[in-house]
Amino acid sequence: MAQNYSFNKPNLGGLKIGWIFLILFFVIILFKSTITIRSGQAGVLYKTFSGGVDTEQTYGEGFHFVAPWNKMILYAVRQQEVFEKMSVLSSNGLEIKLDASAWFQPDYKNLARLHQEKGEDYIERILLPTIRSAARSVVGRYTPEQLYSSKRDAIQQEIFEESKKIVSSQYIQLNEILVRDVTLPPTIKEAIERKLRQEQEALEYEFRLVKAKKEAERQKIDAEGKAVANKILSASLTDKILKEKGIDATLELAKSPNSKVVIVGSGKDGLPLILGNQ
């Protein structure tokens, strides 16, 4: 008697689905394990199972493999600018409004320590409070008049130096502080401007006096010189010299083409007399 044997065929559809899921899993793992750091950025690696922040290395631009359970934190490392408006007090207690900006960037070599000790919000937590404190300290040494006129560059430099001294130890590279505007109370500003106008008018009046005095001295010297010259000339002009000069002048006139009559010895002091139609 014949027996029938049946064989179970493998489920090819389920096998294909399993391979698809496996491939997708590896693709996701691969995608999660890579990161591209762009120009102007740098990365800090946080190792979940290996001690936290990797403080030994700053990751530069380019393509990097990162384990899925780790995390790469990106920072802008180009020079940046932050603006700040502050109200500070002058040396006599008046409120001054200061509009300033700072050029800065994180210390590239110590970026991991900046992240570990200060955090991603280091600008708000470290940089801006330092600038405000330095501005209050520096402005408090000057009067409103100094702030308004001659001392702005000095104030800017002092704020920069005091701020830099603090943030350089906080892994922040401060490049420049710019004081863009100083706003005084309107009444103080008007009083300072009025005083400056008066000083300018006084300087202008003094300049005119000095100029007039110098002009008077010049005219006096010129007049004295002419008087001395005339005195010397008068002393040297004898009757004989005058007659000789008159004869020379008569001869020159006689050479001209105009018609004339010359009468010798008929003029005053015996000089020739010239008669003509010109």
State the greatest distance between any 2 C-alpha atoms of the chain, in Å, as a whole number. Answer: 188
Give Cα separations from 191 to 45, 91, 99, 119, 220 (angstroms): 58, 17, 22, 47, 43
Mind listing the pLDDT tens digit for each residue in 47-66?
988 889 999 999 999 988 88
DSSP letters of the chain?
A: -------PPP-HHHHHHHHHHHHHHHHHHHHHTEEEEPTTEEEEEEETTTTEE-TT--B-SEEEE--TTSEEEEEE-S-EEEEEEEEEE-TTS-EEEEEEEEEEEE-GGGHHHHHHHT-TTHIIIIIHHHHHHHHHHHHTTS-HHHHHTTTHHHHHHHHHHHHHHHHGGGTEEEEEEEEEEEE--HHHHHHHHHHHHHHHHHHHHHHHHHHHHHHHHHHHHHHHHHHHHHHHHHHH--HHHHHHHHHHHHHHHHTSSS-EEEETT-SGGG--EEEE--
Do 139 and 147 touch, CB atoms closer than 8 A?
yes
Range of the domain at 266: 239-276
The verdict on 90 and 137 lying in the same domain is: yes
Q: How far is residue 183's CA from residue 192's CA, in Å, rounded to a whole number?
A: 12
Number of domains making up the chain: 4
The verdict on 170 and 112 lying in the same domain is: yes
Q: What is the CATH number of the domain that holds 154?
A: 3.30.479.30
The confidence score (pLDDT) of residue 218 equals 81
User: How large is the average pLDDT for residues 44-49?
Assistant: 92
On whether residue 29 sits in a domain, the answer given is: yes
The verdict on 217 and 252 lying in the same domain is: no
Domain boundary among 54, 76, 98: 76
The confidence score (pLDDT) of residue 29 equals 63
The verdict on 84 and 174 lying in the same domain is: yes
Mind listing the pLDDT tens digit for each residue in 207-255?
777 888 888 888 888 887 777 777 776 666 666 666 666 666 666 666 6
Mind listing the pLDDT tens digit for each residue in 80-91?
999 999 988 888
The verdict on 160 and 88 lying in the same domain is: yes
Mind listing the pLDDT tens digit for each residue in 109-120?
999 999 999 999
Mind listing the pLDDT tens digit for each residue in 150-207?
677 888 999 999 999 999 999 999 999 999 888 887 777 676 667 766 667 677 777 7
Give Cα separations from 53 to 83, 89, 237 (angstroms): 30, 42, 109
On whether residue 3 sits in a domain, the answer given is: no
Do 132 and 84 touch, CB atoms closer than 8 A?
yes
On whether residue 107 sits in a domain, the answer given is: yes
Residue 150 or residue 1, greater confidence = 150
The verdict on 37 and 127 lying in the same domain is: no
How many CB atoms lie under 10 A from the CB of residue 133? 14
The verdict on 173 and 88 lying in the same domain is: yes
The verdict on 254 and 167 lying in the same domain is: no
Residue 193 or residue 72, greater confidence = 72
The verdict on 26 and 41 lying in the same domain is: yes
On whether residue 6 sits in a domain, the answer given is: no
Do 106 and 171 touch, CB atoms closer than 8 A?
yes
